[in-house]
Amino acid sequence: MNKRLVIIGASGEGKVCADVAMKLQKYGEILFLDDDETIKECIGFSVVGKSSDVEQYINGADFFVAIGDGKIRKKVMEQLRGIRASITTLIHPTAVIGSRVSIGSGTVVMAGAVINPDSKIGQGSIINTCSSVDHDCNIGDYVHVSVGAHVCGTVEVGENTWIGAGATISNNLTVCSDCMIGVGAVVVKDIEKVGTYVGVPARRI
């Protein structure tokens, strides 16, 4: 087991991910990489270089990409895979993970989140604080289920979709890739076109 964790991205997302890692008591050392040279520390841990410096730390380290933008997160994770870096998954100790749940590498499951049985979470996704994914869901790669959002049972969400804070997706629906579901929106029918959806019920704008 690697004892050093290198987190790429030292903003708010990185702060919360580092806190999850601390709660796991798995790593003796946590470091950050960030391309903003003005950031010197994050939640008390040092920012030791830029994202281009990953190869300096590849031996004996796990990596985690804490970048909110799904497309950028995907790009950085693909670069890490290209150099065979070890990409970890972070699951907060208070998260509830049901039976036969699959969670991809590079995904974080935050405090108070619930993922119910027979659901699949793709790689590089964010299941944020107090959100829920119910039974038999298929959440694609690089999806963000925001704070307090709820995905009901047997829902499929395509890659790089952002489900806004407090939004709800009703059961037995499909949401295509590259969509933005607005804060507090309620999705009651399939979403088949890329776009931003807001309101109750959710409509494309």
Interstrand relation of 150-151 and 4-8 (parallel, antiparallel or unpaired): unpaired
CB atoms within 10 A of CB 162: 22
Catalytic status, residue 144:
no
Strand partners, 196: 180
Where do runs of H (alpha helix) occur along 43-127?
A: 70-82
- Tokens found for residue 141: 């790669």
CA 92 to chain CA mean position, Å: 12
CA separation for the pair 21, 180 (Å, rounded):
28
SS3 of residue 84 by DSSP: coil
CA 140 to chain CA mean position, Å: 11
- Tokens found for residue 145: 């289920």
CA separation for the pair 174, 193 (Å, rounded):
11
Catalytic residues, by residue number, are 135
